[in-house]
Structure 1
Amino acid sequence: MEHLDVLVVGAGLSGIGAAYRLQTQAPHRSYAVLEAREGLGGTWDLFRYPGIRSDSDMFTLGFPFHPWKAAKAIADGPSILEYLHETAAKYGIDRHIRFGQRVLRASWSSGDALWTVETNAGTYTCSFLYVCSGYYDYDRGHVVDFPGIGEFEGEVVHPQHWPDDLDHAGKQVVVVGSGATAVTLVPAMADSAAHVTMLQRSPSYIASRPARDKVSDRLRAVLPEGLAHRVIRGKNVAFSTLVYSAFRRWPGPASRLLRKGIAKELPDSIPLDPHFRPRYLPWDQRLCLVPDADLFRSLRDGTASVVTDEIDTFTPTGIRLRSGTELPADVVVTATGLRMVALGKIELTVDGRSVDVHDTFVYKGMMLSGVPNLAWCIGYTNNSWTLRSDLTSQYVCRLLNHLGRTGAAYCVPEVDAAEYSAPARPVVDLSSGYIRRAAAILPRQGSYGPWRLRQNYPRDLAVLRFGRITDPDLHFHPAA
Structure 2
Amino acid sequence: MEHVDVLIVGAGLSGVGAACHLKALMPDKTFTILESRDAIGGTWDLFRYPGVRSDSDMFTLGYSFRPWTSRKGIADGATILEYVRETARAFGVDRKIRFHHRVVSADWSSETAQWTVVADHRGETVTMTCSFLYFCSGYYRYDEGFTPDFPGVGDYRGRVVHPQHWPDDLDYTGRRIVVVGSGATAVTLVPALARKAGHVTMVQRSPSYVATLPTVDPIAARLRKRLSPERAYPVIRWKNVLFTTLSYQLSRRRPELMKKLLRSGALRQLPRDYDVDTHFGPRYDPWDQRLCLSPDGDLFEAIRAGTASVETDRIETFTESGLRLASGKELEADVVVTATGLNLLFLGGATLRVDGVEPVPSELVAYKGMMLSGIPNFALTVGYTNASWTLKADLVARYVTRLLRYLDEHGYAVCTPVSPPVSPDAPPLIDLKSGYILRSADDLPRQGPAAPWRLHQNYPRDVMMLRHGKVDDGALRFSRAPAGTRETTLS
Per the TM superposition, whether the score is higher than 0.5 is yes
Q: Note the residue ranges of structure 1 that are not aligned, 5 or more in a row.
A: none
Matches within 5 A, 1:297-446: 297-417=301-421, 419=422, 421=423, 423-446=425-448
Say which of 470, 473, 478 aligns to 2:472: 470
For residues 329 and 435 of structure 1, the distance between their equivalents in structure 2, rounded to whole angstroms, comes to 30
Give the Cα–Cα distance (whole angstroms) in 1 for the partners of residues 420 and 426 of structure 2: 14
Could you list the structure 1 runs, at least 4 aligned residues long, displaced by more than 3 angstroms after superposition.
none
Corresponding residue pairs, total = 478
Q: Counterparts in 2 of 1:75-474, with a 5 A limit?
A: 75-121=75-121, 122-268=126-272, 270-417=274-421, 419=422, 421=423, 423-474=425-476
Report the secondary structure of 1:126's partner residue.
strand
Separation of aligned partners in 2, 1:343 and 1:471: 26
* CA–CA distance in structure 1, aligned partners of residues 433 and 229 of structure 2: 39
Deviation per CA, 1:50-89: give whole Å up to 9, x if none. 0000010001100111111111000000000011111111
Q: How far 1:354 moved relative to its partner?
A: 1.0
Is the 8 Å Cα contact of residues 206 and 258 (structure 1) preserved in structure 2? yes
Secondary structure of 1:124's counterpart equals strand
Partner SS, residue 125 of structure 1: strand
Q: Distance in 2 between the 1:344 and 1:127 partners?
A: 20
Deviation larger for 389-398 or 261-270: 261-270
Structure 1 position 449, deviation (Å): 1.9
Cα-to-partner distance string for 1:219-268 (whole Å, 9 max, x where unaligned): 11110110011111111111111111112110001101101110111113
Asked if 2 retains the 8 angstrom alpha-carbon contact of 1:6 and 1:126, the reply is yes
| Structure 2 residue ranges without an equivalent (≥5) | 483-491
For residues 80 and 234 of structure 2, the distance between their equivalents in structure 1, rounded to whole angstroms, comes to: 19
What secondary structure, in the 3-state scheme, does the structure 1 residue paired with 2:140 have? coil
SS of residue matched to 1:462: helix
* Alpha-carbon distance in 2 for matches of 1:137, 1:322: 31
Amino acid at match of 2:466: L
Letter aligned with residue 79 of structure 2: S
Q: Distance in 2 between matches of 1:260 and 1:225?
A: 35
Aligned residue for 2:143, secondary structure, equals coil
Aligned residue type for 2:448 = G
Q: CA deviation at 1:106?
A: 0.2
Cα offset for 1:471? 2.1
Cα pair 1:152 1:316 within 8 Å, conserved:
yes
Tell me if the contact between 1:422 and 1:446 (Cα under 8 Å) persists in the aligned partners.
no
| Aligned-residue identity in percent | 58
Give, in angstroms, the shift of residue 269 of structure 1: 5.7
CA distance in 1, matches of 2:296, 2:65: 28
Tell me if the contact between 1:251 and 1:282 (Cα under 8 Å) persists in the aligned partners. Answer: yes
Separation in structure 2 between the aligned mates of residue 132 and residue 163 of structure 1, nearest angstrom: 27
Report the residue type matching 1:126 in the other structure.
C
Aligned residue number for residue 4 of structure 1: 4
Distance 2:24 2:479 in 1: 26
1 CA distance for matches of 2:94 and 2:355? 33
TM-score for the superposition, normalised by structure 1: 0.98
Q: Deviations over 1:178-229 (max 9, x none)?
A: 1000010001001111100000000000001110011111111110110011
Q: Is the partner of 1:449 in helix, strand or coil?
A: coil
Q: Distance in 1 between matches of 2:358 and 2:101?
A: 22
